[in-house]
Amino acid sequence: MAAVWVLLALTALVADYCLVSATSYKEGDKVLVYVNKVGPYFNPHETYHYYQLPVCRPNKIEHKRLSLGEVLDGDRMAESLYDITFRSNGSQELCKVNLSESDVELLRSAIEDLYYFEFVLDDIPVRGFIGHLEEGGFLPHTHKIFLWSHLHFNIEYNKDHVIYANVTTKDQLPVPLDGTAIPLEVTFTYSVKWIPTELGYEQRATRIRDDSFFPKNLEIHWLSIINSLVLVFLLIGFVVIIMTRVLKSDFARYNIEDEDDADDLDSDDNGWKIIRTDVFRFPPCKNLFCAILGVGSQFLALATGILLMALAGVFNVHRHGAINATAVILYAFTSNISGFVAASMYKKMGGDNWVWNINLTSALFAMPFFLVWAVINSVAWAYGTTRALPATTVILLMALWLFVGYPLTVFGGILGKNYGGSFDVPCRTKNIAREIPRVPWYRSAFVHCAIGGFLPFSAISVELYYIFATLWGREQYTLFGILFIVYGILLSVTACISIALTYFQLSAEDYRWWWRSMFSAGSTGVFVFLYALFYFLKRSNMSGLLQTLEFLGYTALTCYVFFLMLATVSFFASLKFVRYIYVNIKMD
Ligand SMILES: *[C@@H]1O[C@H](CO)[C@@H](O)[C@H](O)[C@H]1NC(C)=O
Ligand SMILES: *[C@@H]1O[C@H](CO)[C@@H](O)[C@H](O)[C@H]1NC(C)=O
Ligand SMILES: *[C@@H]1O[C@H](CO)[C@@H](O)[C@H](O)[C@H]1NC(C)=O
């Protein structure tokens, strides 16, 4: 049973990449056109089935089998009535439709919301507006709505391959939808023009991307990207240099004082050395602490894997869905990482309730994700959009988690528990905890979190705009190389800042650095979320309950993932640092 599901999931994944092989046609072959979805132009994630509109449809609607990525992307392809023959120009009638009053109302409101449609012709998305809105003068104000009833297909071909296709609507006058007789009889027609081209099949992806229906307003500002990279490198260098100098003088001070002890006892009594008997005192809530590290490590592996795959050019560029599907499947298959890291840390810290720890680890991301998804999916379902996942996909995903994700977490957990080793520390921890002195405001946890979150955020802020425009707009992200560098930089900045902040905290004789190191860098997630709100309000035209919910819900989840990943990096960097400094001082 489980094996069958795994196989199905893998097939769906493979279908995302392998089925893009070239189709060749002969003169007289039928070129299939699938109708896909319609939706408001400015809401990329609110899409409906094309046949939800009163348009020409076959008597029996045949759906195309879709890959997981396409389903996740809201695609629902069905066969259309367009009868297009390879390399044959012509013009034909599609069908006649009698529009009732409610049909006309539906079309009018769709056109007012700037609905566009998407067809798929030989895997090429072909898009156009369903109607046209004419706003005339201020006084008297006129507001006219027209429906495009004629579609003109331009298809470029090279020998026996289709290279590019688009559709234009303006070749014939549209049908006015104001004050018409009911029922309104509309005759839908279409024409096809085959244009020979010299472009080869390999250039197809570029051709499709460059001549897309959606305007490309994404200019890559190389200067600002390079600028931010340079600043970040300087910052990292600066922190590293200062830290090494400060540490050097600390080591010198502590180790000399030890030799000619008793000379000046006072100066020995401050700084991070005196808390050496407390610094390795394990934090409260070990269970949650280790679960965060486990899931964080899993996401680090996942993100690295996806970026590497994108760099290798695995994904089909004109569809977003492939990346989502890969992420879902990789998430299930990397679950053993989270189980292993969480359980071995938990064992090292002396935890004994490992069953509870593994369950917490597997639920730490899956539960919030499930809740957010359930709310959004219910709303999408109530709206009747194609974003609501069909029952089969839901069952597939649940099975993937139940039969792959969860067992792998348990398996990793058992490995981690048995082979975790012990937490070797350079100094013994005393039974009685030292009192922690009060700190000035600029050394408080809040200020640490603000600094620790803001610096990594500013390192990626330039890139964030491009990422948001890709995820939540119509842009296609192609600069995976830069993204990979930025990802590396983000992790390095996080590690550096975390080490510096932990040093400050220990110097203030506060030994509770465990949780603090997590939150100080993990707070980057909060900054990313604030940026997302700004993007939503000022840089995008999304509207409506469904799109808003979808944006806020999934952005919050993304920021949570940011938190988990950066908290993990930050903690492990701090741990390494703390070990390093306490190994290097002489003990009494
Ligand atoms: C279709 O029409 C276009 C323009 O009228 C022409 O360039 C092209 O050669 C025609 N294609 C075929 C296969 O007849
Ligand atoms: C539409 O209605 C008219 C008259 O009401 C009728 O003559 C015509 O056949 C109908 N067309 C279709 C496609 O049903
Ligand atoms: C559609 O394709 C034709 C032929 O390739 C091209 O001339 C035309 O500019 C395209 N129209 C749009 C709106 O992209």
Q: What is the mean pLDDT of residues 362-372?
A: 95
Domain boundary among 179, 210, 241: 210
Give a yes or no: residue 253 inside a domain: no
Question: Two tokens at 276?
Answer: 């050496």
On the CB side of 29, CA atoms within 13 Å amount to: 12
Amino acid present at 292: I
Question: Two tokens at 427?
Answer: 């100094």
Quick one: which ligand is closest to 96's CA?
A: 2
Strand partners, 118: 37, 127
Q: What is the mean pLDDT of residues 79-108?
A: 91
In angstroms, the CA 248 to CA 198 distance is 66
**Do 416 and 496 belong together in one domain?**
no
pLDDT at 265: 47
pLDDT at 21: 65
In angstroms, the CA 337 to CA 358 distance is 12
Read off the pLDDT of residues 496-531 as tens digits, 9 standing for 90 and up. 999 999 999 999 888 999 999 999 999 999 999 999
Cα–Cα distances in Å, from 523 out to 50, 403, 509, 527, 553?
A: 42, 33, 23, 7, 18
**Do 407 and 471 belong together in one domain?**
no
Please name the residue that has the structure tokens 């499930």.
370
Distance 97 CA to ligand 2 centre (A): 8
Tell me, using a 6 A CB cutoff, whether residue 115 lines ligand 1: no
**Do 466 and 413 belong together in one domain?**
no
How would residue 273 be classed by pLDDT, with cut points 50, 70 and 90? confident
Please name the residue that has the structure tokens 């100080």.
520
**Do 293 and 371 belong together in one domain?**
yes
DSSP 312: T
| Most confident of the following: 236-245, 320-329, 571-580 | 571-580
E strand or H helix at 135, and its extent?
Answer: strand 131-136
Phi, psi for residue 281 in degrees, rounded to 5: -75, 120
Amino acid present at 97: V
Give the percent of the chain with pLDDT over 90.
48
pLDDT of 318 strictly over 60 = no
Torsion over CA of 421, 427, 429 and 433, rounded to 10 degrees?
A: -140
Give a yes or no: residue 189 inside a domain: yes
Give a yes or no: residue 502 inside a domain: yes
pLDDT of 224 strictly over 50 = yes
What does 205-266 look like in DSSP terms, one character per residue?
Answer: HHHHHHT-SS-------HHHHHHHHHHHHHHHHHHHHHHHHHHHHHHHHHHHHHHTTTS-HH
pLDDT at 6: 59
Give a yes or no: residue 257 inside a domain: no
Give a yes or no: residue 110 inside a domain: yes
Quick one: which ligand is closest to 215's CA?
A: 3
pLDDT of 266 strictly over 50 = no
Distance 168 CA to ligand 3 centre (A): 8
Q: What is the mean pLDDT of residues 283-296?
A: 95
In angstroms, the CA 448 to CA 516 distance is 8
User: Other CB atoms closer than 10 Å to residue 322's CB: what's the count?
Assistant: 26
How would residue 66 be classed by pLDDT, with cut points 50, 70 and 90? confident
Give a yes or no: residue 5 inside a domain: no
pLDDT of 540 strictly over 80 = yes
Torsion over CA of 461, 467, 471 and 476, rounded to 10 degrees?
A: 160
Coil, strand or helix: which one is 362? helix
Distance 156 CA to ligand 3 centre (A): 9
Q: Flag the least confident range among 268-272, 439-443, 464-468, 558-562.
A: 268-272
Domain boundary among 210, 228, 262: 210
Give a yes or no: residue 235 inside a domain: no
| Domain enclosing residue 141, as ranges | 25-210
**Do 530 and 456 belong together in one domain?**
yes
On the CB side of 440, CA atoms within 13 Å amount to: 3
Contacts of 211 (CB under 8 A, 6+ apart): 164, 166
Give a yes or no: residue 220 inside a domain: no
Cα–Cα distances in Å, from 574 out to 198, 426, 514, 521, 581?
A: 58, 15, 8, 11, 11
pLDDT at 464: 86
**Do 33 and 170 belong together in one domain?**
yes
Domain boundary among 210, 244, 273: 210
Read off the pLDDT of residues 321-365 as tens digits, 9 standing for 90 and up. 778 888 899 999 999 999 999 999 999 998 889 899 999 999 999
**Do 419 and 449 belong together in one domain?**
no
pLDDT of 587 strictly over 90 = no
On the CB side of 328, CA atoms within 13 Å amount to: 25
Number of structural domains in the chain = 3
pLDDT of 452 strictly over 60 = yes
Atom 6 in ligand 3: residue holding the nearest Cα: 154
Q: What is the mean pLDDT of residues 120-124?
A: 89
Distance 193 CA to ligand 1 centre (A): 6
**Do 345 and 491 belong together in one domain?**
no
pLDDT of 557 strictly over 70 = yes
In angstroms, the CA 136 to CA 340 distance is 66
CA 539 to chain centre: 18
99 and 107 in contact (C-beta within 8 Å)?
yes
pLDDT of 263 strictly over 60 = no
**Do 414 and 452 belong together in one domain?**
no
> Which one of 56, 93, 98 would you pick to mutate in the ligand 2 pocket, going by the greatest count of ligand atoms within 8 A of its CB?
98
How would residue 17 be classed by pLDDT, with cut points 50, 70 and 90? low
pLDDT at 568: 97
CA 502 to chain centre: 30
Distance 196 CA to ligand 1 centre (A): 8
Q: What is the mean pLDDT of residues 14-28?
A: 68
Read off the pLDDT of residues 380-425 as tens digits, 9 standing for 90 and up. 999 999 889 989 899 999 999 999 999 999 999 999 999 888 888 8
Read off the pLDDT of residues 455-468 as tens digits, 9 standing for 90 and up. 889 888 888 888 88
Tell me, using a 6 A CB cutoff, whether residue 82 lines ligand 1: no
Tell me, using a 6 A CB cutoff, whether residue 154 lines ligand 3: yes
**Do 402 and 450 belong together in one domain?**
no
566 and 524 in contact (C-beta within 8 Å)?
yes
**Do 420 and 455 belong together in one domain?**
no
**Do 393 and 530 belong together in one domain?**
no
Question: Two tokens at 298?
Answer: 């899993």
Distance 94 CA to ligand 2 centre (A): 15
